[in-house]
Homo-oligomer: A and B are copies of this chain.
Amino acid sequence: MKIEVKRKILAKEEAIGEENRRLLREKEVTAFNLIGSPGSGKTSLIESARRLLPEEIRIGVIEGDLASDKDTRRLKKLGLEALQINTGRGCHLSPKMVKEALERFPLDSVDLLIIENVGNLVCPVSFDLGETAKIGLVSVAEGDDKPTKYPLLFLEAELVILNKIDLLPHTDFNREAFYEGLRAINNSVPLIEVSCRTGEGVEDWREWLVDRVIRNP
């Protein structure tokens, strides 16, 4: 019974994800589902995209958090279209939540939509929100063993970003071990190293975005 009910719910959610995907395609919006731990720097990464990107890529954000609209206020300050979803006890955004947000979102005025998921390396990975691709974000401060211990995200992501590389001299993070762990899970995913704080590496992030949104939407 339990499994049957769960299967039905998942099938329904999957169908809603597909509806979202159709709508985004129709509106010619590239959408990334940004997934990372609490404090890995998801909002900072979006802020850096905003600062880096040429004016012709208009960015919008759907912001998922259990509580508070702190990040949405941060992003609106930069002039971004941003819409908050509060999930309460919910550990991930669901296709249905995103569908309701898309209905209220001015899709005609953006080219790129970043969906910042709830901070969590596990649950968000299981739900297809209708995004173009998933981006996995992990910070140096989390340690070099994350791909090995939380393999699901690193399997599914189309891009992996290692943030906070400015902390490398102050931690025991072993770059070689990180690469080895990541490559054992996913041998082909591109990896970009950045520090949103110092700006190091963000040019690679900009290039990837331009390529993905303009040249290869």
Residues of A whose CB lies within 8 Å of any CB of B are 1-2, 5, 9, 37-40, 65-68, 70, 89-91, 118-123, 126, 138-139, 141-143, 145-146, 148-152, 164, 166-167, 170-172, 197
Contacts and interface: CB of A to CB of B under 8 A. Distances in A.
Nearest to A90: B122
A143 B37 contact: no
30 contacts: A1-B5, A2-B5, A2-B9, A37-B142, A38-B121, A38-B150, A39-B141, A39-B142, A39-B146, A66-B150, A67-B149, A68-B148, A68-B149, A70-B145, A70-B149, A89-B126, A118-B122, A119-B150, A120-B120, A120-B122, A122-B123, A123-B123, A139-B141, A141-B141, A141-B167, A167-B170, A167-B171, A170-B170, A171-B197, A172-B197
Nearest to A167: B170
A152 B146 CA distance: 24
Decide if the interface of chain A is mainly helix, strand, loop or mixed: loop
A138 B89 CA distance: 19
How many copies of this kind of chain does the complex include? 2
A172 B166 CA distance: 12
Contact of A152 (B2, B66, B123, B142): B66
A150 B118 CA distance: 10
A143 B123 CA distance: 21
A66 B172 CA distance: 23
Contacts of A126: 89
Contact of A149 (B40, B119, B143): B119
A76 B189 CA distance: 34
A38 B166 contact: no
Contact of A151 (B38, B66, B121): B66
Given A66-B150, A68-B145, A91-B122, 16 more contacts: A1-B5, A2-B5, A37-B38, A38-B121, A38-B149, A39-B138, A39-B142, A39-B143, A65-B149, A66-B122, A66-B149, A67-B151, A68-B149, A118-B122, A120-B122, A167-B170
Contact of A148 (B70, B90, B152, B166): B70
Contacts of A65: 149
